[in-house]
């Protein structure tokens, strides 16, 4: 007999996600992904000054504010007809890259690692590291007191097939703590060139308002060295260890099979070449990106159906909290009518299909070393592997961008806000393709629509009844114990959902 499991909220991710699955004969047969709150940023923006948009949209999220700020200033650059200076482009790339790395670190260490690494192993720690001894005392207290309401963030947890090797567990916990310092360093790098983080004031249309000085280059470079060292010696090794101990997760959590990448981080002034190349994989076939094919379906979303299947340039956000048959505050974005996965895995697969040498030079040795096939990356563990490859790629590229900056030269070009204009800003947030669509009338924002990575991934069913990518990925997942459905949590978290972003 089928059994319904509701995980509400799914913890250790940003925002409110409820996940309902139907399990029969030890496998998930059906799945529903629900975003549980409405935020209304697209409504808040209407009638405001266009130059406020990058500040307001950065408040969509504290994890990826730079991605929203970047999409917003790109939409405004487009609307105002701006061509950036090299310094402006390079500073923006460095700011976005540092926030990107920070986001991938929080996802692996703080939000996912403890699905695999056994935190309880610290109770048997025999070494002399004072930080680990401190944590040991705390975990022992948690385990022995059998508290009715144990204190987050480590316990309670699902019981499950955690890593067995003691040293790997201790290393994972040690790096969990070290990663907090690394995230602080990444924030300092963003603050140096963008004013502060989160919600950076120096990100503006026309470039960046910070100046490039030799002292700042040296400071950024020193911080970057520390990050690169952690990525090379800790992060990649920890993900590899978890992948090795949980190899069966390369066969669990395959997505919808379609991938969408807008591309990001321009390598040249005309932005024709981007560090992450754009592209679409439709059932394995590579296509050029055509943003005219994007629509948002609303039939199962808590919004008025009248504007369903519209392109975001003419989209509407009209909440209907009591709509019958709807089960999520996420819209359902579709490309050529199809659900699309977005994120690190999509970026790696699209770049690979395009034969991009930068990406191939890291992905090929990784596949060789792990003995994995490219197809196996489309899986729960494959998403972790793809996400781990990205900070390595991006951090190494930052060395080159840093060397191209010219101290004393401007990072900002002036502009006028026109009375009427349209603009679109497309970029890659850590979690995938992010687009902002802007219309200006009478010098004010007439319409502003965001289509966000987690909205693509965690969308509900569309107007044709087709499930969203995470729903599809969870269907078929084997469940060993329905009272302890760690497998569902692992597949959902492999997408790194951010519901605060998704419902914007
Ligand atoms: Ni709130 Fe965000 C999403 C990312 S969108 S974390 O979805 O990455 O810019
Ligand atoms: Mg939207």
Beta sheet of 27-35, edge-to-edge order: 3-7, 17-24, 27-35
Task: Kindly state the average pLDDT of the residues 31-54.
Answer: 98
| 434 C-alpha to ligand 1 centroid (Å) | 8
Among the listed ranges 25-39, 150-164, 197-211, 463-477, which one has the minimum average pLDDT value? 150-164
Closest atom, ligand 1, to C-alpha of 67: 9
| 451 C-alpha to ligand 2 centroid (Å) | 5
Joined together, the tokens standing for residue 144 give 């022995």
Q: What is the pLDDT of residue 152?
A: 62
Q: pLDDT tens digits, residue range 86-99?
A: 999 999 999 999 99
**For residue 139, what pLDDT band results from cuts at 50, 70 and 90?**
confident
Q: What is the pLDDT of residue 271?
A: 84
Closest atom, ligand 1, to C-alpha of 103: 8
pLDDT at 474 over 60: yes
- Distant-in-sequence, close-in-space partners of 458: CB < 8 Å, separation ≥ 6: 17, 33, 35, 330, 468, 469, 470, 495, 497, 499, 502
Q: pLDDT tens digits, residue range 150-194?
A: 556 677 788 889 999 999 999 999 999 999 999 999 999 999 999
Task: Kindly state the average pLDDT of the residues 397-426.
Answer: 98
Q: What percent of the chain has pLDDT over 90?
A: 91
pLDDT: which is higher, 272 or 455: 455
Closest atom, ligand 1, to C-alpha of 457: 7
Task: Kindly state the average pLDDT of the residues 397-418.
Answer: 98
Joined together, the tokens standing for residue 334 give 């579709």
Joined together, the tokens standing for residue 396 give 């190494």
63 close to ligand 1 (CB < 6 Angstrom): yes
Average pLDDT, the chain: 95
Residue entry with tokens 């087709």: 466
Q: What is the pLDDT of residue 156?
A: 76
pTM assigned to the model: 0.96
φ, ψ of residue 72 to 5 degrees: the values are -70, -45
Planar angle of CA 424, 428, 431, nearest 5 degrees: 130
Task: Kindly state the average pLDDT of the residues 415-430.
Answer: 98
| 423 C-alpha to ligand 2 centroid (Å) | 15
């Amino acid at each position: 007999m089928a059994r319904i499991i509701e995980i509400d909220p799914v913890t250790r991710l940003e925002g409110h996600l409820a996940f309902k699955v139907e399990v029969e004969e030890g496998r998930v047969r059906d799945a529903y992904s629900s975003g549980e709150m409405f935020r209304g940023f697209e409504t808040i923006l209407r009638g405001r000054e266009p130059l406020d948009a990058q500040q307001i949209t950065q408040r969509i999220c504290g994890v990826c504010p730079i991605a929203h700020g970047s999409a917003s200033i790109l939409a405004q650059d487009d609307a105002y007809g701006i061509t950036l200076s090299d310094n402006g482009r390079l500073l923006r790339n460095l700011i976005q890259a540092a926030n990107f790395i920070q986001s991938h670190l929080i996802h692996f260490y703080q939000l996912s690692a403890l699905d695999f690494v056994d935190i309880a192993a610290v109770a048997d720690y025999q070494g002399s590291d004072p930080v680990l001894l401190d944590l040991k005392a705390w975990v022992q207290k948690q385990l022995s007191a059998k508290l009715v309401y144990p204190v987050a963030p480590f316990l309670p947890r699902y019981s499950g097939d955690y890593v067995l090797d003691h040293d790997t567990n201790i290393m994972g916990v040690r790096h969990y703590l070290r990663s907090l310092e690394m995230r602080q360093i990444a924030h300092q790098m963003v603050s140096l060139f963008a004013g502060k983080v989160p919600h950076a004031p120096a990100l503006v249309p026309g470039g960046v308002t910070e100046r490039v000085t030799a002292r700042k280059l040296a400071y950024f470079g020193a911080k970057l060295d520390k990050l690169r060292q952690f990525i090379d010696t800790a992060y990649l090794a920890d993900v590899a260890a978890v992948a090795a101990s949980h190899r069966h997760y390369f066969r669990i959590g395959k997505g919808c099979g379609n991938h969408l990448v807008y591309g990001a981080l321009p390598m040249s002034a005309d932005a024709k070449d981007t560090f992450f190349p754009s592209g679409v994989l439709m059932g394995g076939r590579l296509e050029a990106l055509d943003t005219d094919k994007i629509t948002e379906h609303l039939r199962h979303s808590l919004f008025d159906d009248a504007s369903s299947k519209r392109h975001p340039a003419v989209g509407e956000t009209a909440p209907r909290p009591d709509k019958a048959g709807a089960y999520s505050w996420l819209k359902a974005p579709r490309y050529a009518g199809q659900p699309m996965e977005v994120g690190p895995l999509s970026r790696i697969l699209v770049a690979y299909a395009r034969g991009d040498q930068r990406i191939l030079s890291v992905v090929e040795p990784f596949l060789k070393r792990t003995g994995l096939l490219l197809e196996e990356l489309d899986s729960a563990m494959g998403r972790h592997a793809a996400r781990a490859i990205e900070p390595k790629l991006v951090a190494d590229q930052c060395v080159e961008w840093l060397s191209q900056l010219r101290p004393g030269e401007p990072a900002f070009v002036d502009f006028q806000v026109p009375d009427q204009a349209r603009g679109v800003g497309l970029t890659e947030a850590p979690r995938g393709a992010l687009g902002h669509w802007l219309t200006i009338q009478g010098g004010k924002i007439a319409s502003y629509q965001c289509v966000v990575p987690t909205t693509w991934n965690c969308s509900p069913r569309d107007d044709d009844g087709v499930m969203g990518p995470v729903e599809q990925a969870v269907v078929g997942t084997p469940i060993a114990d329905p009272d302890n459905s760690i497998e569902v949590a692992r597949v959902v978290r492999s997408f790194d959902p951010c519901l605060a972003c998704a419902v914007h």
